[in-house]
Amino acid sequence: MTVATFQVDDALPTQSYQVTRTNLVKYAGASGDFNPIHWSDRVAASVGLPGVIAHGMFTMALAARALDSWAGAPGRVREFGCKFTKPVVVPDDDEGVTVIVDGTVRSLTDDAVHISLEVTCGDQKVLGAPKAVLAR
Amino acid sequence: MPVDPSLAGRTFPATEVYEVSREKIAEFAEATGSGFDGQAAPVTFPIVVAFPAMNDLMDDPEVGMELHRVVHGEQRFTCARPVVPGDRLTAELTVETVRQIGGADIISTRTEITDSEGAQVCTAYATLVHRGEEP
């Protein structure tokens, strides 16, 4: 499948990503966001969180990774936005949690594809109204 | 203490030039499991460039934000082109609106990311929620 063959209402292939504490530490280093709620149980608990949570921007980056997969290549995403509605709590074990990214083609123009996404962890939507535009 | 609503409309000085290396994009792509073809950075990569501008806002004593009260509410990128290795980028943040809802300040920002030619590469819109003190 490539962007050129997308049709309106196409359900794009479900992408499933495992997230462990290691991923959060790597993302902290790569992004420069060292807020301890993303790596310290002690600090997370002190601000009332149920545990260490993923950076919202990390979850968004996973959704962007799904967009690249659907587009068939990096560099085609022209717009991408979402709300951060529910935290992704990542336990300190080897399994971590799984983030699932689904997408639906909403509309097509000569040079763009509009996609709405659904990003879930467990039974909760963790991003609100994620939407993207890919260059065709 | 709530954030002063007159903050709306204020533009902060542009950040120092950020030189984008192939290695930095590769590190970011690897951290998110994304593919990297040696050229286009992932669409959320510009947050690395916008982050110092957002810190300037949050660290400004006149603004009066307390970091531990800040939650990232919303994020959007609109890109003229992907960021690529060799880009020399600056970020200029403008506070678009400040609203008070239920004891929290909702601060909407727009950060323009431009290259060394002055051409717009990406606009990063971030909404920051500054939670009020517990009663």
Q: For residue B62, how many other CB atoms are within 10 A of its CB?
A: 7
pLDDT band at residue B1 using 50, 70 and 90 as cut-offs: low
Q: Are B96 and B33 in contact (CB under 8 A)?
A: no
Is B27 part of any domain?
yes
Q: Which residues of A touch B72 (CB under 8 A)?
A: 56-57, 84
Are A77 and A71 contacting, i.e. CB atoms less than 8 angstroms apart?
yes
Q: Are B37 and B119 in contact (CB under 8 A)?
A: no
**Domains observed in chain A:** 3-19+54-135 (3.10.129.10)
CA B70 from centre of chain: 14
Which residues in chain A have their CB less than 8 angstroms from residue B37's CB?
Answer: 73-75
Do B42 and A80 make contact, defined as CB atoms within 8 angstroms? no
Whether the pLDDT of residue B133 is over 90: the answer is no
What is the predicted pLDDT for the residue at B23?
98
User: Which residue among A26, A57, A73 places its CB closest to the CB of B75?
Assistant: A57
What's the mean pLDDT when you consider all of chain B? 94
Sign of the CA dihedral running A112, A113, A114, A120: negative
Report ipTM for this prediction. 0.95
Cα end-to-end distance, chain A, whole Å: 13
Domain residues for the domain of B41 are: 5-130
pLDDT value of residue B24: 98
Q: And the tokens for B83? A: 């960021």
Angle, helix B22-31 to helix A21-31, in steps of 10 degrees: 150
Is there a contact between A75 and B36 if contact means CB atoms under 8 Å apart? no
Token readout for A77 is 């995403």
Kindly indicate the confidence band of residue B4, based on its pLDDT and cuts at 50, 70 and 90: confident
Pair B108, B96: CB distance under 8 Å: yes
Locate the chain A residue with the closest alpha carbon to B69.
A47
Going residue by residue through chain A, which has 136 residues, state the pLDDT in tens, using 9 for 90 and above: 678 889 999 999 999 999 999 999 999 999 999 989 999 999 999 888 999 999 999 999 999 999 999 999 999 999 999 999 999 999 999 999 999 999 999 999 999 999 999 999 999 999 999 999 999 8
The answer to the question of residue B48 being in a domain is: yes
* pLDDT digits 0-9 by tens, B9-31: 999 999 999 999 999 999 999 99
CA angle A115, A120, A123 (to 5 degrees): 140
- Determine the distance in angstroms separating the CA of A134 from the nearest CA of chain B, rounded to an integer: 10
> Is residue B135 domain-resident?
no
Q: How confident is the model over B68-111, as pLDDT tens digits?
A: 788 899 999 999 999 999 999 999 999 999 999 988 999 999 99
Q: What is the DSSP string of A53-94?
A: B--HHHHHHHHHHHHHHHHTSTT-EEEEEEEE-S--B--SSS
Among B41, B33, B126, smallest CA distance to A27 is for B33
Of A30, A68, A73, the CB nearest to B28: A30
End-to-end CA distance of chain B: 12
Q: What is the pTM of this model?
A: 0.95
CATH number at residue B35: 3.10.129.10
Amino acid A107: pLDDT: 97
Q: How many domains does chain B have?
A: 1
